[in-house]
Chain A
Amino acid sequence: MTLSQLLAGQSGLIQSLTQNNHFNDRLSALGIKKNKIIKILRKATFGGPLHLQIGTTELMVRQLIAKEIIISPIKN
């Protein structure tokens, strides 16, 4: 499933990133990499961006990108 399908409060293990290599370089510099655990802290209303946590870093990412990131959900 994709990152955008996770609900607020849920976590997932990243399986693969986007189709765009340049995007992926940027994402991994910010800590979004394969085999990392990513948690959705909250989602903005009206389909706005996601508030994510990876390690000690908190980020906002738009749905468009989150739809391309494949994860496997982790049971809390």
Chain B
Amino acid sequence: MKKIVLIGMPNTGKSTFFNRLSGSSVRVGNWPGVTVDLYSIKTLINGNLTELIDLPGIYDLNGYSEDEEIVKNFINNNKIDQIFFILNSTQIDRQLELAIKIQKLGIPVLILVNMIDEAKSLGISYNFPEMEKMLGCPVLPISAKYGQGMEHLNQKLNQNRSIPKKNIDGLNDQDIAQKIYHKTVEMPAILNDQKTQILDNIFLHPWLGIPLFLLIILTLFQIIFTLGAPIQESMGNLFSYLHINYLENIFFNSPPMLKSFLLDGLYAGITTVAAFVPIIIIFFFVMTVVEDSGYFSRAAFLMDKMMEKIGLDGRGFVMMLMGYGCNVPALMGTKIMRSKNLRFLTMLVIPFSLCSARLQVFLFIIFSFFSGLYGALILFCLYLLSFCSIFITAIIFKQQYSDIEPLVLELPPYRFPTLKQMVIRGWQEVKHFLNRATKFIVIGVIAVWVLTYFPSEYPIASQQTYAGQIGLFFEPIFKPIGIDQMLVIALIFGFIAKEILIGALAIIFGFEGQALASYLSEIFTNGQAISFMIFTLIYTPCVSTIATLHNESKDIKLTIISITWSLLLAWIASFIFYQSYQYFFYN
């Protein structure tokens, strides 16, 4: 089988080209010499079954950045038959040089001049036959987004060897690239993308820009969760319907332990994973619009100054805000940050974003303990605390994960993605999540089941189970923050997902709904309730978040830091609160 790799600078439409050839048959895999996942497809190109591999976008071949290192190692460790070098036709003036460097690798190169539709509307003209002669390799103008030129791909590949290279005198690659550019490309005197200029005057307005940004994010947020929440809820209802009406009957005569393992362990785990599917799809639908429209880099521009101080960048701010909906897709979205340290630091702060699952828990507890204005104030303070945790974490870890690459971001012209691009993205991200996170999440859920079920002669989640014993063991640590053995059991459940925390309290105390609310407010003080919420806010959001953080970073150290630091910070914050509460109210 032939192997073709796709190389190009960032923002040249590489993935759009890749997706056009692949549809949705993408495979994620490991390759010799590289440690990251690369997307690849098997498809028929020029009559041969071919494996096409999408390599990360690079600016150079010198191996300075992580992505350049990956491309270099991949090329050195794999036998490659053909390179597709893709460039942005409107930026050909600065991208030809890399094309010349790529040619020197000694592998046949086909140059794809992408976004030719945009170049035409800007009035740029090209002499492609002359360009082919000067470069000595085939050049094909295409629009990957709309499909123009794709039909000539095979024909161009056959042309590969038949182009004699003209001799060009040049001091270096840059010089040669400039000569080819001046000979074959004609730019209009004034390049005027008025649409982008007008939009930038609005979106990047000195003092309207930021309020507008917050408004846009808030709207997107609303879209994601008004669409996602009902789907997630009805899926949840469907799963419990199946559980109660069918699965219970099927396993009616099974030994209780097997039944509990299958239903409370395995089934609960799989449905936990499944519950994320709609939210991830919708999230990436919206993210595709935000990213591909060019607004994402504008948002980064607006928020960069604030984030620079804590070692992050403007993009991190956007992902962090998205985390307030759900941490899992926000963590997945950090992929676009190509600098490893910057990405890791962003991943470390996202889990402190108060997600909608935690909000549900807080609303229940606040409703049980506090009324009206007090409740609203407490909720506001929890949001504030979430922001503070992010800032404190970033400041503490910014030395360890300091960004060595200069932050230079492109601000591409405003575009609108096609529906196809949005669907493919949503689908790919979900597949990625399911492939990589399912195992981890199911294991996590089963582990919690084991802790709360055994020894099996006691009721589930009672004081005598392993979870109860752990609670008892840790009670000296949790006592100073007002959390007793039973609440520790609830926190162990909360490790699976915050959605089930209230359900866990119901199992532990034997009350549901309103009865649970009044029972809780009887046996716990207001201080204990707030301390419990503070701890719930800051400690590990859920097993899915950990699984995602681990998969996206491929770094066990970062995963461990994330878990232990959040537990530590949760304890410290609860301790400070609870001790001062006790001091002021009981002294």
Contacts and interface: CB of A to CB of B under 8 A. Distances in A.
A38 B431 CA distance: 43
Contacts of B304: 44, 48-49, 60, 62
A27 B301 contact: no
A76 interface: no
Dominant secondary structure at the B interface:
mixed
B122 interface: yes
B157 to A, nearest CB: 27
B342 to A, nearest CB: 13
B300 interface: yes
Interface residues of A, number: 31
Given A55-B91, A55-B94, A56-B91, A45 B59 contact: no
Q: Which of A18, A29, A46, A55 has the most CB of B within 10 A?
A: A29
Interface string B142-179: 00000000000000000000000000000000100000
Given A51-B204, A51-B411, A25 B59 contact: yes
A49 B301 contact: yes
A49 B411 contact: no
Interface in A17-76: 18, 20, 22-23, 25-33, 41-42, 44-49, 51, 55-62, 65
Nearest to B193: A56
A27 B91 contact: no
Given A44-B304, A49-B301, A55-B91, A27 B62 contact: no
B405 interface: yes
A45 B207 contact: yes
B408 interface: yes
B301 A44 contact: yes
Contact of B64 (A26, A51, A60): A26
Q: Which of A27, A55, A60 has the most CB of B within 10 A?
A: A60
A48 B405 contact: no
Interface string B45-60: 0000000000000011
- Interface hub of A25, A26, A51 (most chain B Cβ within 10 A): A26
Nearest to B207: A45
Contacts of B301: 44, 48-49, 51, 60
Contact of A60 (B97, B196, B206, B409): B409
B200 interface: yes
Interface string B277-308: 00000000000000000000100111011001
Contacts of A31: 91, 93-94
A48 B30 CA distance: 39
A29 B98 contact: yes
B410 interface: yes
A55 B60 contact: no
Nearest to A48: B305
Given A56-B122, A58-B410, A59-B411, A29 B9 contact: yes
Interface in B404-447: 405-413
Contacts of A65: 406-408
B91 A60 contact: no
The 5 closest A-B CB pairs, nearest first, are A48-B305, A29-B59, A31-B94, A58-B411, A23-B406
27 contacts: A20-B406, A25-B59, A25-B62, A25-B64, A27-B406, A27-B408, A30-B408, A30-B410, A31-B93, A33-B174, A44-B301, A44-B302, A44-B305, A49-B301, A51-B200, A55-B91, A55-B93, A56-B191, A57-B91, A57-B94, A57-B410, A59-B410, A59-B411, A60-B301, A61-B406, A61-B408, A62-B406
Given A23-B406, A28-B94, 15 more contacts: A18-B406, A25-B64, A26-B65, A27-B406, A33-B174, A42-B200, A42-B204, A44-B204, A49-B301, A56-B122, A59-B409, A60-B407, A60-B409, A62-B304, A65-B408
